[in-house]
Amino acid sequence: MKSSDTRFPQIPWLDAQHFENRRNFPSEELSKYEGRHIAWSWDGAQILASGKSQEAVEEELKALGVDPSRVVFDYVFPGDASVIGPLEES
Amino acid sequence: MSLIFSYKLWPSPRPVTPLRGRWVRPRPVVSVTLVGPKASRVQPALLDTGADDCVFPESVAAQIGIDLTSAPVGNATGVGAGPIAVRYAQVALRLTDGREFREWQGWAGFTAARLTVSLLGFAGCLQFFGAFFHGDREEVELTVNSLYPGT
């Protein structure tokens, strides 16, 4: 389908540039966020906020005046463990 | 036309023995958009053929305006985890790789359990796609099937 075939025209789609920018983001910079939830800018070029939980990231975004609907949430897995499920340690 | 997602590569601090000493872990994690009555959120989600359901944090339901008060409830178990409660609601989901765009309505489970990433499992997502995990190219390819209810 085309990006214009949507029930929600007011909500933008992520574009190819977003994915390209994230692919090119320096891995050494990303590794600083290991074990943390983060928010990418809509273009995927920057990390706007980070926190121990997604709720904490959401709060930080609001404090910065950034609309949480216009970021891309993510989680940076710790590098030293294999992943066999999505539950976080409590 | 298919959606094609490259696996995300996570650096490892030491060589990964079962991957013949590579220094990264490739994982099929994608960005999925949930659209609710009030707002939308783009979440990281693991494409998981072993998951029965799509599962997202309960906090996201509230943020996008989905009321779970009288939602159907269920239990879910995972590897190494006891049962967790989930509450189900229908939500609009979007996936794109920047070239192809898919949007559909599906059932999702929401849980108060803390998740690192959400899950895109069978009900609500993979039931509507053929999924091919290209281990050699470290890409996953999703092609809509005859059950796909969206655009």
Say whether residue B4 is in contact with chain A using an 8 A CB cutoff: no
- The residue with greater pLDDT, B68 or A90, is B68
Give pTM, 2 decimals: 0.94
A77 to B78: CB separation less than 8 angstroms, yes or no: no
- The residue with greater pLDDT, A18 or B80, is A18
Q: Distance between CA atoms of B2 and B99, rounded to whole angstroms?
A: 9
> Which residues in chain A are closer than 8 Å to B118, comparing Cβ atoms?
86
- Closest residue in B to A7 (Cα) is B103
In chain B, the percentage of residues whose pLDDT exceeds 70 is: 98
- The predicted structure's pLDDT at residue A84: 73
Q: How far is A76 from chain B, CA to nearest CA, in Å? A: 8
Q: Distance between CA atoms of B134 and B23, rounded to whole angstroms?
A: 20
Interface-testing mutation among B2, B5, B40, B42, with chain A (most A C-beta atoms within 10 A): B42
User: Which of B14, B35, B42 is the closest to A8 by Cβ?
Assistant: B35
- The predicted structure's pLDDT at residue A89: 60
User: Which of A3, A13, A90 is the closest to B114 by Cβ?
Assistant: A90
- Tens digit of each residue's pLDDT (9 = 90 or more) over B32-42: 999 999 999 99
- For residue B123, pLDDT over 90 is answered with yes
- The predicted structure's pLDDT at residue A26: 94
B2-6+29-144 has CATH 2.60.40.1930 classification: no
Say whether residue B41 is in contact with chain A using an 8 A CB cutoff: yes
Q: Distance between CA atoms of B26 and B48, rounded to whole angstroms?
A: 14
Strand duo B139-144 + A47-51: pairing:
unpaired
- Closest residue in A to B56 (Cα) is A86
Q: What is the mean pLDDT of residues B83-93?
A: 96
Q: How far is A46 from chain B, CA to nearest CA, in Å? A: 16
B13 to A79: CB separation less than 8 angstroms, yes or no: yes
User: Which of A18, A74, A87 is the closest to B78 by Cβ?
Assistant: A87
Q: Distance between CA atoms of B106 and B147, rounded to whole angstroms?
A: 11
Q: What is the mean pLDDT of residues B116-121?
A: 96
> Which residues in chain B are closer than 8 Å to A90, comparing Cβ atoms?
114
- The predicted structure's pLDDT at residue A50: 98
- The residue with greater pLDDT, B10 or A25, is A25
- Closest residue in B to A15 (Cα) is B98
- The predicted structure's pLDDT at residue B151: 79
User: Which of A14, A87, A88 is the closest to B96 by Cβ?
Assistant: A14
Boundaries of every domain in chain B = 2-6+29-144
- For residue A76, pLDDT over 80 is answered with yes
Contacts of B148 (CB under 8 A, 6+ apart): B102, B104, B128, B129
- For residue A28, pLDDT over 80 is answered with yes
Q: What is the mean pLDDT of residues B94-98?
A: 97
Q: Which helix (H) or strand (E) holds B67?
A: none
The SS3 call for residue A6 is coil
- The predicted structure's pLDDT at residue B27: 95
- For residue B82, pLDDT over 80 is answered with no
- The predicted structure's pLDDT at residue B79: 67
User: Which of A7, A13, A87 is the closest to B96 by Cβ?
Assistant: A13
For residue B81, CA distances in Å to A47, A55, B14 come to 31, 22, 27
Kindly report the length of chain B.
Answer: 151
For residue A58, CA distances in Å to A65, A74, B80 come to 11, 12, 29
pLDDT band at B63 (very low <50, low <70, confident <90, very high): very high
Q: Distance between CA atoms of B74 and B110, rounded to whole angstroms?
A: 10
- The predicted structure's pLDDT at residue B80: 64
Q: What is the mean pLDDT of residues B98-119?
A: 96
